Amino acid sequence: MHISPRFHTPFFRLMRYSLLVAPWIAAPVAADAPSFDCARASGEVEELICADEGLASLDRRLAQVYARALDSWPAEELQELKATQRGWIKGRNDCWKAEDVRECAEFSYRTRIIELQIGSGRFEAPTPVGYLCEDREGTPFFAAFYNETDPPSVVLTRGDDQVIAFIARSGSGARYTAANVEFWEHHGEATVDWFGEKLTCTVR
């Protein structure tokens, strides 16, 4: 099961379009409760969110970010945005299949929040850094670094696939990780683990 999102869209489409967003209840909620009604929680993951203050906080945060995104989204694309709500819910709730259910749910929330922030123009889109990688296909590889997100993140694009990875501890250089993906850059060179494929890349 891939927890990392792999977006089959060109890089700049991520800035606006590739979002799967959950529905949120507008009614006020308790400070330590998620945005949805825990009395109607269904399944292991939703019950976990209701019992876990950290996940409940992320759920409330995502609800706020989504509400702001609705205000900035193009009117002609709102139906598409709303139509994909169930996709994100299903993906989050499928975390019951993961070895670490909580970690999977937390990653799902953090990734979705950043997607929404990027897609709604919350952060200025950085110029992506292009890399030449030693692979047989010569597939283009780009990294767009978002230092203002929490945590700092990078959108990695290889061909038509995209992954959001989060900064991780590193002895030197910049290291970002997602499920089944690792990007480690140091002095213009990068080592990449892309779903099991090892790549050595240099800045174009």
Q: Is the pLDDT of residue 9 over 90?
A: no
Q: In terms of Cα–Cα distance, which of 13, 9, 8, 22 is closest to 111?
A: 22
Contact residues for 1 (Cβ-Cβ < 8 A; gap 6+): 94, 97, 98
Which pLDDT value is given to residue 49?
97
Q: In terms of Cα–Cα distance, which of 60, 149, 160, 69 is closest to 111?
A: 149
The residue-averaged pLDDT of 69-96 equals 82
CATH 3.90.870.10 for domain 129-203, yes or no, is no
Question: What burial class does residue 13 get, using C-beta atoms within 10 Å of its C-beta: 0-12 exposed, 13-18 middle, 19+ buried?
Answer: middle
What global pTM score does this model have?
0.75
Question: The tokens 């038509």 sit on which residue?
Answer: 160
Which pLDDT value is given to residue 11?
38
Q: In terms of Cα–Cα distance, which of 112, 114, 194 is closest to 150?
A: 114
Residue 142: both structure tokens together: 């780009």
Q: Report domain extents, the chain.
A: 11-119, 129-203
Q: Is the pLDDT of residue 39 over 50?
A: yes
For 130-140, the pLDDT digits (tens) are 999 988 778 89
Residue 148's CB is within 10 A of a number of other CB atoms, namely: 12
Q: Is the pLDDT of residue 202 over 90?
A: yes
Which pLDDT value is given to residue 10?
34
For 11-28, the pLDDT digits (tens) are 334 433 333 333 333 444
Which pLDDT value is given to residue 30?
56
The residue-averaged pLDDT of 134-159 equals 91
Question: The tokens 């906080």 sit on which residue?
Answer: 57
- The CA distance from 175 to 154, in Å, is 10
